[in-house]
Structure 1
Amino acid sequence: MGSELTYRRHEPQTLSDSYSPKPNKPWLSVIRPIRYMLREQRLLFVLLGILLGAFFIAILPSSSHRQITYHDAYSVSQLAQIMNPPQPVYRPGFGSISSGGKVPLGLKRKGLRIVVTGGAGFVGSHLVDRLIARGDSVIVVDNFFTGNKDNVMHHFGNPRFELIRHDVVEPLLLEVDQIYHLACPASPVHYKYNPTNVVGTLNMLGLAKRVGARFLLTSTSEVYGDPLQHPQVETYWGNVNPIGVRSCYDEGKRTAETLAMDYHRGAGVEVRIARIFNTYGPRMCIDDGRVVSNFVAQALRKEPLTVYGDGKQTRSFQFVSDLVEGLMRLMEGEHVGPFNLGNPGEFTMLELAQVVQETIDPNAKIEFKPNTEDDPHKRKPDITKAKDLLGWEPKVALRKGLPMMVSDFRQRIFGDHKDSSSSA
């Protein structure tokens, strides 16, 4: 055994240049990478990539062709708007909206959460109607000093409507996007008894600051006092008696504007200021001492129409729907104001009495009484600023809007008694 091993150790062997346990096969250099790709699933990914690339190459020309055919349905400007929609302007607070641009087709506008102070009143209730119809959630805050539940009762049961009995002279905690601050008695009979301008405005501005809400103040043409400039423009500072019988309202609203601008400049609150001129329409208080409601109620009751002074003092009268449109445009716009919101059509008190006679009773008498203290002699708004920046102007003429107010007053004054008496 040992000799055999010795023999094999010394047996001459032929050595090749390179060691290989198996003979070299030339086709293995081709097969080996393919087999590796198959084992590691590399080929699957390569094929997938090729298919995806081919798919996108096939799609691109057809989509460019479709873009050309869009011109049949859209203008170039509309296409630009679709391809590059306006970016929404976000404000800190409970919610946010885009203040400009259109809502893309198929997408609904996001409803806002809005508080309307004085929302059960004459103007406030009409504003609530418009906001609810637009799809917003509305919280009405009212102490019912001059407001009335009947004005908003048709919204009871609507999940987007809330009613809070509250006086704005006390603080209020809410989470809202916008605040329409209308809570303030607007007729001499009421504001002399309960002036709430300053404290109520201060509380609502504090709420707007805390929650980041946009705040709209409904100021008044009374900030011009007995004006020495006619018509009145927003840059006119007014001629107000600071200690007169009307000063609690006139100076209160002037102070409210001051507070709003201070919160805007000092605390960054987004504010809007509207100076409202004489407004009339359905749901107006029947016996609030304002001239239109006085004349209409007196004519319906067959009483003399009371004209104070010589009847030559002038006023401008806008229908409530025009005012609500102006308030909403101001709130949604990007301009602070103040803005005059009124109808530049000017009437003397005698002319107004004659229009009421024509509408209700041609035989109604006119009775003259001494004029009240600090009664402005002329009142007419210059609405150039509202036309240019808000695209707003009143649409309803006095002779067109007055019959709608008369119909509402007739129903509220006589009610069912009118129907029963006529049938009897």
Structure 2
Amino acid sequence: DYDAAIAIAEAVRQRLEPEGRWEIDLRHALASAYMNRGNTKQSASGHGPAAALADYDAAIAIREAVRQRLEPEGRWEIDLRNDLAAAYVNRGNAKQSASDHGPAAALADYDAAIAIRETVRQRLEPEGRWEDDLRHALASAYMNRGNTKQSASSHGPAAALDDYDAAIAIAEAVRQRLEPEGRWEIDLRNDLAGAYVNRGNAKQSASGHGPAAAIADYDAAIAIAEAVRQRLEPEGRWEDDLASVYVNRGNAKRSASGHGPAAALADYDAAIAIRETVRQRLEPEGRWEVDLRHALASAYINRGNAKQSASGHGPAALADYDAAIAIREGIRDLLLRFGGEAAWPAWARFELAQLYLIRIRLKGARGSVPDQDAVRSIAEGLAATEQQQLATELLGGLALAKLPQPVLWAIERLLRPLAGWIQRLQQRAQSEVMSWKR
């Protein structure tokens, strides 16, 4: 029980600290207890990241006091440095999702962790004593800071690239050292793949880079992840992160010069195959969770969007939208059955209605009466829950979707702002950012 351990350790502190007898090992034990309680609160129901911050504050205060005492004497050892850096990383992770904090507030903590771990590197690397766990810790700190910069309003994707470059350089050096000896473990492989994916995602939207520049990073991530798949899949221990990388590469190819929608189809095929395998494994056992269902639907939507734009594939897009709609209708039914109307969020209703609109446009007004009724029903439900703007957009989209194709094409050519909803419908499934925060 962390509360009891902290109470005991604080009593010891109150007794010994005034006499100058509160030794380093006792300080370390109390800081560790605060750290552990903070880690537990982050994921505990009724607590969460915001509740963990006070514990991380306490751990950092204790460990910074140890630093001030020992560093001037050259006695601030590597394990103590790494413990303080870990506390800063954990507090940064908590701030990212804590209300009244957010990504920008987390950056200072990642800065502090990186500064400490770079000092460790400078001290040990020249002597050949910079071990793999310390390398991995520094790479993870750079990864976390890069992820944070991507979503921080004052930074953005371009600002994150240097951090991803640093993380990849460290992780690749670890790979070169361990892979020839057969000691490059799965978690290290996954972390390097994640770094390439995150850098690819940043390049897609960073000025001066773009989708074409991202493809090489996705290629590298897929090569690593496919090797992991070959090793783990026969043992039943492999997860479907690889599918997300295929989706991301497909998205990049769709808009990259020299590639295009047709080139993206094979990647979407691969993602769908992986996620359908996951479905077949989990659905019969009742373990096919909502997030996995959404992921499979997203892959079908992306492939449908690509087929619409790829020469010779347009008619085949309807089957992909049918599959996505069936999955999302299943999600709707599941949520309504177990949680009632409140369990089916507005964004999920809106996205299902958007799929109906795409299908109405493809089938035509006469062949899509049930879909039209479904859109109206969803719009009415959104309006009843004070989501009038979403309801209005759906009804406007329905009016356009029912028009004959030649008329709709003329409107698109002459009145692009009114036809902008079509592009929005086809761009809903965005890159599935794989952010490693360890």
- In the superposition, the TM-score normalised over structure 2's length comes to 0.22
* Structure with the higher helix share, 1 or 2: 2
Q: Which structure has the greater CA radius of gyration?
A: 1
* Structure with the higher strand share, 1 or 2: 1
